[in-house]
Amino acid sequence: MSTEANFPPLKNDLLLRAARGEKVERTPIWIMRQAGRYLPEFHEIRKNHSFFEICRTPELACELTLQPIRRYGPLLDGSIIFSDILVIPQALGLEVEMITGRGPVFNDPLVTPEDLSRLKTEVDVDKELGYVYDAITLTRHKLEGRVPLFGFIGAPWTLMAYMIEGGGSKTLSKAKSWLWKYPTETHGLLQKITDVSVDFLVGQVRAGAQLLQVFDSWAGELSPHDFNKYSLPYIKQISTMVRQRLAESNLPDVPMVIFAKGAWYALEDLTDIGYDVVSLDWTIDPEYARKVTQDKVVLQGNMDPSVLYGGEEAIRETATRMVHAFGKDGKHIANLGHGILPTVDPEALKVYLETIQKVSAEIKK
Ligand code: 1CP
């Protein structure tokens, strides 16, 4: 087991300070999916290994986590452990493969509630997902304190959606049909995922994660009513239980980020469920978000990832406008409004990172 004292001291704590709501000298920036498919150095490694083999090999997961930190140096203020949200369904007993060009595919997805009996009743998370902990601990050492490291999970609703759809889906009609046909079993499944998620996040902090992000990538597919019923209570339970368990175990109370993509309607509710940071997609205007959230949380985001295809001038202009909109005194962590897209030129990302650092340092003077 590792404690903070065993790791190299942190040299750049800007992201941690901003996530706690402190006033900072410039806006910290990291990028969702910053390790991965848009980087040629990722493909060099990926061509020799399957995706989940990389996730399960701490040296490889560590190497991929470090790639963007090496490439962009001081332009990035955070790192995120190379893994995937689908390691939890795997720990629950489902088989998932990552197929190039297609994404995740479940060999045998859940079809009806009878299939729930295929999930493990007792999950020893530390044993099933210990490889993620090992990757985190190794990465904390190899980062040498350059930037803090995020651990993460997928939110229960998003994971349930994958487990029933069997992969990506345009309508989520199979997963959604469960909400009305089998509400009791749906709550049972969401609770099961929640329990495992809490263990997993606490384990990631014990291993060395310095911030945690919960990705509810499919939140925007739910109506406000269904989001309130099938997502919000579980993501709230996760923040509450994780903090309680961290305190009981004498582990650091790390900042927690919630990213409920597409759930603009839930913005106010999201300020009130125990997360320090609410991550916004690009459909939310920063000034509107500041008005609704009233400085109760730090905001993260939110440039449309596609602007990175728009050329240097468009990137600079949009990034500058965004920094101004989040404000001189606004509590803000810069990111994109969703993950960086696989065909983006890494040089375009550099322009974005440079612009955020320069403009935010100027206005926060
Ligand atoms: O830097 C990083 O962020 C790398 C770590 C990381 C993270 C945080 C990966 C590696 N995946 C994720 C999270 C993740 N995975 C999410 C939440 C964030 C989001 O909404 O983008 C989701 C929905 C997934 C599921 C997933 N994994 C997809 C999406 C499929 C769909 O339905 O659209 C895909 C394509 C993957 C594969 C994957 N995960 C990560 C990488 C680098 C890859 C590409 C794998 C390959 O080489 O084929």
Ligand 1 atom closest to 46 (CA): 47
**Helix, strand, coil proportions of the chain in percent (round to 5)?**
55, 10, 35
Residue 82 phi, psi dihedral angles, 5° rounding: -75, 115
Active-site option among 26, 56, 77, 84: 84
Residue 33 Cα to ligand 1 middle (Å): 7
Query: How far is 153 from 336, CA to CA, in rounded Å?
Result: 18
Ligand 1 atom closest to 68 (CA): 1
Residue whose CA is closest, atom 21 of ligand 1? 339
**CB distance 99 to 50 below 8 Å:** no
Q: How far is CA 171 from the centre of its chain?
A: 22
Per-residue pLDDT of the chain (365 residues; tens, 9 = 90+): 556 889 999 999 999 999 999 999 999 999 999 999 999 999 999 999 999 999 999 999 999 999 999 999 999 999 999 999 999 999 999 999 999 989 999 999 999 999 999 999 999 999 999 999 999 999 999 999 999 999 999 999 999 999 999 999 999 999 999 999 999 999 999 999 999 999 999 999 999 999 999 999 999 999 999 999 999 999 999 999 999 999 999 999 999 999 999 999 999 999 999 999 999 999 999 999 999 999 999 999 999 999 999 999 999 999 999 999 999 999 999 999 999 999 999 999 999 999 999 999 999 98
Sign for the CA dihedral angle at 169, 229, 241, 19 comes to positive
Residue whose CA is closest, atom 35 of ligand 1? 103
Distances (CA, A) of 273 to 187, 256, 297: 19, 11, 10
Residue 277 phi, psi dihedral angles, 5° rounding: -130, 135
Does residue 149 line the site of ligand 1, with CB under 6 A? Answer: no
Token pair 């209570």: residue: 233
Give the bridge partners for 279, in sequence order: 259, 300
pTM of the model: 0.97
Ligand 1 atom closest to 217 (CA): 20
Active-site option among 38, 72, 133, 162: 162
Does residue 103 line the site of ligand 1, with CB under 6 A? Answer: yes
Residue 271 Cα to ligand 1 middle (Å): 26
Tell me what pLDDT residue 68 has: 98
Residue 3, helix vs strand vs coil: coil
Nearest to 33 by CA among 279, 223, 359: 279
Residue whose CA is closest, atom 33 of ligand 1? 168
Q: Which residues of 273-292 are buried (b: 16+ CB within 10 A; e: fewer)?
A: bebbbbbbbbebebeebbee
For residue 164, the surrounding DSSP H or E stretch is helix 156-165
Residue 78, helix vs strand vs coil: coil
Does residue 46 line the site of ligand 1, with CB under 6 A? Answer: yes
Ligand 1 atom closest to 33 (CA): 3
Residue 290 Cα to ligand 1 middle (Å): 29
Query: How far is 199 from 123, CA to CA, in rounded Å?
Result: 10
Of how many residues is the chain composed? 365
Q: Is the ipTM of this complex over 0.95?
A: no
Query: How far is 283 from 267, CA to CA, in rounded Å?
Result: 12
Tell me what pLDDT residue 1 has: 52
Q: Is 290 a known active-site residue?
A: no
Query: How far is 201 from 238, CA to CA, in rounded Å?
Result: 9
Dihedral angle over CA of 271, 275, 277, 278, nearest 10: -50
What is the bridge-based pairing of β-strands 96-99 and 103-106? antiparallel
Nearest to 5 by CA among 213, 145, 201: 145
Ligand 1 atom closest to 81 (CA): 5
Token pair 């001038």: residue: 313
Q: Is 84 a known active-site residue?
A: yes
Residue 343 Cα to ligand 1 middle (Å): 14
Amino acid identity of residue 31, one-letter, is I
Residue 153, helix vs strand vs coil: strand
Instruction: State the CATH class of domain 4-363.
Output: alpha beta
Active-site option among 26, 38, 46, 234: 46
**CB distance 21 to 257 below 8 Å:** no
Q: Is 71 a known active-site residue?
A: no
Residue whose CA is closest, atom 22 of ligand 1? 85
